[in-house]
């Protein structure tokens, strides 16, 4: 099995030859299992490449034993079922946590919107009062002083005051609107990174024009190594703190290159780099990896005491868009490079150009 990818689907001739060699041509149970783990799993979008490869490895071990009894079949089926359930369980936990976090931030935004609406309602009262005062003063001035020149001077002064007051209010509302807009753009957990919607919007709206113009565009896909182990050992609160620490370092490196750093999903972070080719992006990625490698995260317990530092690393996939690529192709390339970095031992940077030849085999 190629260490960088799950096995590709069996073609018809290859399938028949494999079934003959294993002696299971007339065994529908084992034939179905082989087709499932070799052909169907390959196309699963719900599983990462690494998860597909690991599941294939476990199940193909049963075929290597060449014990095709019914008992072995049910054992293999149990391994398959547990593997799929475990992967689904991880996704469900991540989804649940993300929904809880989004619910929290959405509640905050709703509360702020309600506050703004209430302020707007209350703001109409002084504005109406101001207009009523202007009306009364104007009538009184006309009655006391019928001179048109004096009347015009008075009206100019009063109108200027009203406009200035409204301008101050407008600036205040503009500031509040910008604050709400910024809150909606940033990630609810990693508030120094943009959220996934900003990334998707860039890929959909900005990237096509940039590619068409012939400018360079690269992408870093970054994943914290063994993040699940950190969560299992230290708990999700410490895990979130580790993620925040990594995000802060990633953001500082992205800013140096005028990059767009976004939380892509879970512990995965994407950095879009304009006007940099793959080699240049690789150098940035390697500098980032080394910086994170040197970082020592010291967790704090509930009693305020510190424990021994947690050392963590990242794997990074780097890819550059080709002139004939769609923007979505860049994501696929960077994701494959990331998988190669993880399956190759982690704590390293891999470029798509390095693995492209292997993928075509």
Domain boundaries, the chain: 103-185, 196-360
Please state, in angstroms and rounded to a whole number, the distance separating the CA atoms of residues 359 and 337: 10
Annotated active-site residue 328? The verdict is no
Please state, in angstroms and rounded to a whole number, the distance separating the CA atoms of residues 311 and 229: 12
CATH code assigned to 196-360: 3.30.70.270
Beta strands at 314-320 and 217-224: parallel, antiparallel or unpaired: antiparallel
Please state, in angstroms and rounded to a whole number, the distance separating the CA atoms of residues 252 and 33: 48
Cα–chain-centroid distance for residue 350?
Answer: 20
Q: Please say whether the beta carbons of 334 and 318 come within 8 A.
A: yes
Residue 297 in 3-state DSSP? strand
CA atoms within 13 A on the CB side of 279: 0
pLDDT band at 183 (very low <50, low <70, confident <90, very high): low
Is the pLDDT at 265 greater than 70, yes or no? yes
Helix (H) or strand (E) holding 122: helix 70-144
Cα–chain-centroid distance for residue 46?
Answer: 16
Its pTM surpasses 0.85: no
Question: Catalytic: which of 65, 169, 182, 267?
Answer: 267
Condensed to tens digits (0 to 9), the pLDDT of residues 79-101 reads: 888 888 877 776 677 667 666 76
pLDDT above 70: percentage of residues in the chain: 68
| pLDDT value for 273 | 96
| Mean pLDDT (the chain, rounded) | 81
Give the pair of three-digit tokens for residue 31: 């034939």
Query: Which CB contacts under 8 angstroms, 24+ apart, belong to 116-120?
Result: 116/173, 116/176, 116/180, 120/173
Strand partners, 314: 224
Please state, in angstroms and rounded to a whole number, the distance separating the CA atoms of residues 206 and 303: 48
């Amino acid at each position: 099995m190629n260490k960088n990818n799950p096995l590709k689907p069996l073609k018809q001739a290859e399938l028949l030859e494999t079934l003959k060699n294993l002696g299971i041509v007339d065994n529908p149970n084992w034939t179905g299992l082989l087709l499932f783990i070799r052909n169907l799993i390959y196309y699963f979008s719900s599983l990462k490449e690494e998860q597909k490869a690991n599941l294939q490895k476990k199940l193909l071990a049963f075929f290597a034993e060449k014990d095709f009894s019914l008992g072995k079949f049910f054992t293999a089926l149990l391994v398959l079922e547990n593997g799929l359930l475990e992967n689904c369980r991880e996704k469900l936990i991540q989804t649940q946590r993300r929904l809880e976090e989004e619910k929290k931030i959405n509640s905050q935004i709703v509360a702020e919107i309600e506050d703004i609406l209430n302020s707007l309602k209350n703001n109409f009262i002084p504005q109406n009062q101001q207009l009523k005062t202007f009306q009364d003063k104007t009538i009184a001035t006309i009655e006391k002083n019928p001179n048109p020149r004096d009347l015009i001077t008075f009206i100019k002064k009063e109108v200027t005051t009203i406009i200035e007051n409204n301008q101050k209010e407008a600036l205040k509302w503009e500031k509040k609107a910008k604050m709400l807009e910024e809150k909606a753009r940033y990630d609810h957990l990693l508030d120094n990174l943009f959220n996934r919607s900003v990334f998707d919007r860039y890929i959909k709206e900005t990237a096509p024009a940039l590619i068409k113009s012939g400018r360079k565009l690269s992408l870093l896909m970054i994943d914290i190594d063994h993040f699940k182990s950190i969560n299992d050992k230290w708990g999700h609160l410490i895990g979130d703190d580790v993620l925040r620490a990594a995000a802060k370092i990633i953001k500082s490196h992205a800013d140096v290159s005028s990059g767009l750093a976004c939380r892509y999903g879970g512990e995965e972070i994407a950095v879009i780099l304009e006007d940099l080719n793959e080699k240049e992006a690789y150098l940035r990625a390697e500098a980032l990896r080394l910086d994170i490698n040197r970082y020592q995260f010291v967790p704090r317990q509930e009693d305020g005491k510190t424990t021994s530092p947690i050392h963590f690393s990242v794997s990074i996939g780097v890819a550059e868009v080709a002139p004939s690529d769609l923007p979505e192709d860049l994501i696929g390339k960077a994701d494959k490079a990331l998988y190669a970095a993880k399956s190759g031992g982690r704590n390293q940077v891999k470029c798509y150009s390095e693995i492209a030849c292997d993928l075509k085999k």
